[in-house]
Structure formats: structure tokens, C-alpha cells
Chains A and B, each alone.
Chain A
Amino acid sequence: MDGEAISRAITRIAHEILETNKGAGNLAFVGIVTRGATLAETLASKVGGIEGAEVPVGTLDISFYRDDLATRLSPEVHRTDIPFDVEGRDVVLVDDVLFTGRTIRSAMDALMDYGRPRSIQLAVLVDRGHRELPIRADYVGKNVPSSAKERVKVYFESTDGRDAVEILEAAEGGGQ
């Protein structure tokens, strides 16, 4: 995917979110660090632009909720910042790549510790398959069939200097 394809996908997702939720009134976005957070910002400003309203955005670090903590430690823990009350809101979780679903499981647990949202929806730029948990995305930028050994990498202008989605030949470990 190049920059234009990404931008079109995000615009389409923004419209889908508004259609499903019948407006932005009760919406909030929560991005999973680090690239999900960038994507959440972009989505929120798109949705806000269409509706002419400010939509709250938060960021979530799931390091403390991982299920593989016993064998793996996140090298760097980022700050979680949810500057709004999640109680009763329709929260759209945002991540760049949906893979095993384990990150999303952790993110839902983390989010629940802040309160009881009315609903949690999931938006991802890329769904690459290989789910290990019964989790699916509500909004998908692009389905990218990939081998479990490959890596799918998302780049954003603001953090990486360009917008792109690339499939890389796997080094070891797999990852996203």
C-alpha cells in the first residue's frame, strides 16, 4: 500500500465508523502504541472533520497486560493516556496490523480497567490473518494474506517520514 491507498482506506473507515455509530456524538478513539496511536489521531481528525466535532483520542500501552510476560518483556513501556471517561462510550480501538489477536485481547482488558464502555469496536489498517483468538476487526483498511513467517510493517509520515505498508521477508521471531 502506498500513501494514497492508505489515505483512501482511512477516509473510508472514517465514514464506516460514522455510519455504524450514527454520528460521532458518543465516539472515542483509543490507539495502541505506537503506530495504532498515530493512526487513531488521523482517524479522529478525519471523523471530526466530517462531523465538525472534536472526537476524544487516547493512547494505550499494553505491556502490563501481555500474556507472554513470563517469556518476553517489552523493551520500552510507553505512557498510557486516556484523557476521557470511557464509561458508557463507544470506543474504537485502533491498531496498525491485526495478526494473532493477542494484542487486542490485552488492549480490551486494559481498557476495561478504566471503566465500562458501551461498546468496543476494532479498526485496523491491515488484517494479515493468522488469528489465535476469536477476535475480528469491525473496520479493515486492507486484507493482506501473508505467510506467518513474513513481517507486515506499517510506516507513517509523522513517525517514519513516509506512508506505506510493506511485507518483509521474515527475520526470526515473526512479530507483526
Chain B
Amino acid sequence: MLSTRHIIDVEDLTLEDLMQILDTAESFKEVNERRIKKLPTLRGRTIVNLFLEPSTRTRTSFEIAAKRLSADGINFAASASATVKGESLVDTAETLSAMACDLVIVRHKYAGSPRMLAEHMDAHIINGGDGMHQHPTQALLDLFTMRERLGHLEGLTVGIVGDIAHSRVAGSLVPALRMVGARPIVIGPPTLMPARPDILGAEVSYTLDDVLPELDVAYMLRIQMERAEGQPFPSVREYSRLWGMNEARLSAMKPDAIVMHPGPMNRGVEISSAVADSPRAVVLDQVNAGVAVRMAAMYLLLGGDASGAAA
């Protein structure tokens, strides 16, 4: 059982919680390799996917996780919901609460909305990505994949490359890496760095090539055309030449270093096709781990719940 009712920020979790999620996910990964990929564990529980921002992979991953645990999953998509008719988020929360949902996965374009939902609902909340703030289950599945491929987490040097300022993936991954004793370095052009990169808790580098040989993991962030304001770099081609992962850069890294990407990839921009398809890119392992990690988070949040004082 976890020490928290909700997973909104990585910081809601203690190190013990975090390791318990990863360890439990190992067992769920075995289930995902079976012929019958279904457990009766969360039978009769209702899990709502409240996705108020477009998402296919994260929503699908949560949906599969809920189904494999025999929970009843309901999708509440932005386009079909009352929100387009002008219902406020709090009213949506109270409506879902009145329908007695047990767990709500929320994705929203504004940072902090999952926290607000948590204050207006009895259900558990998992943040499925809020604005430019956090995406905690992504960080958990990333840690799971690193541990699986590299055998440990403590002491790993992880370079997070690209649009640090707008990335909720980086927002969760940096504190998660610090918790497990790894060394995060955020890498990117100054125009894609937050105003105060020094308070992220990571080392900062403005050139990729200088730090490449130190990295155990190169974590390539997606260039988010939809979030970039103005023109943070002169051209996609220049970005790719200075900040993209390609075969030459891959060979400058340690021989067992891996390349990660949260998806969806812009092939030819932040990662070349050759690298994306190489065995050292673990993008599909990340997707695979995503289902197991989300099953673990759901199981640990909802199990033991009826005993009352779940705090």
C-alpha cells in the first residue's frame, strides 16, 4: 500500500512507494506475457479516464491496464463531454463523484487541475499529464525501463535533451531520478530552457556533444510544435544537427548506454530513424513497461482501500 491517496506529482511518493510500484510492476509484466492477460484483482472497481486534452498512447495504456485488472474503465473524452458545453472542471468532478468512481485518471492542459480535482472528489487521482507541469506515470515507466535494461538506478547519469521548458515529462523525470539517486542533466538550447534551470535540481548543459560520453541514458524529448511559442530555434534542420540523436552521437556514448523517448517520435528531428530502430533505443520497452507500471499504480492505490483510513 502506498503512503499517498493520489499520484499527482512524483513528490507525492516516498522512495519506498516508488520502489514498491516498480517491484509490483515486475509481476504485472509477467501477466502481460501470458496467453490470458487478465486478472480478477480490481473486479467491480470503476476507473474513469478523464482526458481533456488529446492523447492516444497514454489513454490507451491506462485503458489496457484497467481492463487487465478487470476494472470497469470508462472513457470521458474532451470532445464528447460536457466540458465543450461549458461545464466547469469542478462540476465535472462532482458529477463523477456522484456516480461513485473509484479512480480518475486526468489529463488536462492546465497545470494543477488534477490537484483541484482531488480536492473535490472522494476518488483517487492519477495525473495523466497536466500542462507543462508533470506526468508521473511516464517517469515511473522510464525508471522501470532503465532498471530493466541497465540493472540499477542509483548512480546512473541521465541526459534529458530538448524542450525542457515545456516538458512535463522532464518535470516528473528530474525529481524521480533524484529520488532514486541518479544524476539528471538537462540539455538543450537556452531558448528551450526554463527561466531558472538551476532550480530544477538537475545539472544544466547547453551543448549535447560535451556530455555525451558521460551518459548512461540519452532521453530525447519530443519537439512539441504545438507548445513552442515564437521561434525557439531557426529551423528543424538546425535543431536536428545540434540536438538530435543520430548514429555518430550514439557511437560517442558508452557502449551499453541506451536511448529513450517518451513518444510519439519525430523521426529525423530529435531522433534519427536509424537510431530509433536500433537495439539501443528502448522506446517500445518503455511502452511495454507503461502498461505494467500503470497496473501497479492502480493496484496499489485501490487495494486495501476499504479498510478506511487510506492515508
For residue B41, which residues in chain A have a CB less than 8 angstroms away from its CB? 64-65, 69
Contact A73 B304 (CB under 8 A): yes
Q: Could you tell me the distance between the alpha carbons of A114 and B34 in the complex, rounded to whole angstroms?
A: 7
Most central of B30, B39, B40, B299 by chain A CB within 10 Å: B40
A17 to chain B, nearest CB (A): 27
The answer, yes or no, to whether A80 is at the interface (CB within 8 Å) is yes
| Given A64-B39, A64-B41, A113-B38, A80 and B307 contact (CB-CB distance below 8 Å) | no
Q: Which of A65, A73, A113 sits near B1, CB closer than 8 Å?
A: A73
Q: Which of A73, A75, A109 sits near B40, CB closer than 8 Å?
A: A109
* Chain B positions 31 through 52: 1 when the CB is less than 8 Å from some CB of chain A, otherwise 0: 1001110111110000000000
Q: Which of A65, A73, A78, A114 sits near B39, CB closer than 8 Å?
A: A65
For residue B26, which residues in chain A have a CB less than 8 angstroms away from its CB? 79
Q: Which of B24, B299, B307 sits near A71, CB closer than 8 Å?
A: B307
The answer, yes or no, to whether A77 is at the interface (CB within 8 Å) is yes
Q: Could you tell me the distance between the alpha carbons of A72 and B306 in the complex, rounded to whole angstroms?
A: 8
Q: Which of A72, A76, A77, A113 sits near B304, CB closer than 8 Å?
A: A72
Closest to A113 in B: B36
Which residues of B (42-96) have their CB < 8 Å from a CB of A?
42
Contact B40 A114 (CB under 8 A): no
The answer, yes or no, to whether A96 is at the interface (CB within 8 Å) is no
Which residues of A (76-119) have their CB < 8 Å from a CB of B?
76-81, 109, 113-115
Contact B27 A70 (CB under 8 A): no
For residue A79, which residues in chain B have a CB less than 8 angstroms away from its CB? 26-27, 30
Q: Which of A73, A80, A114, A115 sits near B27, CB closer than 8 Å?
A: A80
Most central of A64, A73, A80, A115 by chain B CB within 10 Å: A64
For residue A71, which residues in chain B have a CB less than 8 angstroms away from its CB? 304, 306-307
Contact A77 B23 (CB under 8 A): yes
The answer, yes or no, to whether B202 is at the interface (CB within 8 Å) is no
The answer, yes or no, to whether B186 is at the interface (CB within 8 Å) is no
Which residues of B (282-311) have their CB < 8 Å from a CB of A?
299-300, 303-307
9 A-B pairs besides A70-B304, A72-B307 with CB distance below 8 A are A63-B27, A64-B31, A64-B39, A71-B307, A76-B23, A80-B27, A80-B30, A109-B40, A113-B39
Nearest 10 pairs of A and B residues by beta carbon: A73-B304, A70-B306, A73-B303, A64-B41, A64-B39, A73-B1, A77-B27, A71-B307, A113-B36, A77-B24
